[in-house]
Amino acid sequence: MSRRTPLFAMVVSLILMMSMGPISSAQIGILPSVEITCDDPGPVEVWPGATRTTIVYCTLENPSIHSESVEIGTESEESDFQFAAPQTVTIGAGQEMDIQIIIRVPELYAAGTYSANVTAKVTEANGIDVSAITSTEEDSVSFEVMKYGSCEVMVGQGGGAIEAGDPVVFAASFVCEANAEFSIGYSLVMIDEVAMSSIWPSGFEDQSAPCQFQVQATGGGGNCQFQIATPSNLANSWSGCVVLIDDDGDGDGSGSSPPSSCNTNYPSLGIDIEPQGLSLVSIGLDSNSSVSELLMDNKELVGGGVGGLVLLLSLILVLRRRSRSYDEEWEED
């Protein structure tokens, strides 16, 4: 029998099978192949300290009659993305396998929607290298890198003891980091240390100009001045703090809730407001005034006291002179 006879018979059989209709899945299973399907992963947070990762869940299916070794690949247009995935898996004939691929994004990576591809290729069937006759299958997934923005606040000097009627004045500087452009603003809240309340006390008024600025996707900052008017007729001392509250602390469109205590991580300034009284300022003496100027400005108040002091000094001098004359007479005797 010629060697061409079996080959001729196989070709004739294949032609007859094709003429009878489509090839069944069982017949297709004769060739090594793999199918891959993946689900879109969840969003990624990229703020400092976040895991900055998301997990892609994929299913591999071996529809063939062979035990297959399948090579897994990952790729993305974003060269900074890092992937952690199994390199090769073995799937039994007609079996499925679930795998996980971890995607890691750099810190503060620009917010947006990104895609990645997961590939699968049969390299061996029943231990025989078949990579030359198998194709690469792939599935694409997309995920979102979330927006983030945050500002560090540095409050300048201006707190401490203040007399009623004097304004509370201070400045603050802001250094921000972000992965998307956003706007942020700050406002003041006064907290009574005794009552533990953030309700503005009667007579106090926020006279600050609006503190708002735009932060770029690469970061930025700003500076603001704040001023609070205090009542001049304050009857009792007031102790507490001024707290800066942001209206959008992380760029998500939601601001911070005011605290109820001065013991907080919010940027704050401690202040003590004292009622007006007989202080150096109230009687006109400051660091640039002299005592003589003070006496001249308040001569009606201190005139009687000064006259009495002069009379007393004169009496002392007279008594000392008489004492000396008596001592001289005793010495002559």
Give me the pLDDT at residue 262, please.
84
The predicted-structure confidence for 204-235, as pLDDT tens digits, reads as follows: 999 999 999 999 998 998 999 999 999 999 88
**Domains 21-145 and 150-274 equal at CATH topology level:** yes
| Residue numbers of the chain with a pLDDT score lower than 70 | 1-28, 196-198, 248-255, 278-333
Please provide the CATH number assigned to the domain covering 21-145.
2.60.40.10
Q: What is the pLDDT of residue 174?
A: 94
Q: 38: burial class by Cβ within 10 Å (0-12, 13-18, 19+)?
A: buried
pLDDT at residue 303 in the model:
52
Kindly state which CATH superfamily the domain 150-274 is placed in.
Immunoglobulins (2.60.40.10)
The confidence score (pLDDT) of residue 3 equals 40
DSSP string, 103-160: EE--TTPPPEEEEEEEEEEEEEETTEE-TTT-PEEEEEEEEEEPP-EEEEEEE-S--E
pLDDT value, residue 330: 43
Domain boundaries, the chain: 21-145, 150-274
Can you give the pTM of this predicted structure?
0.67
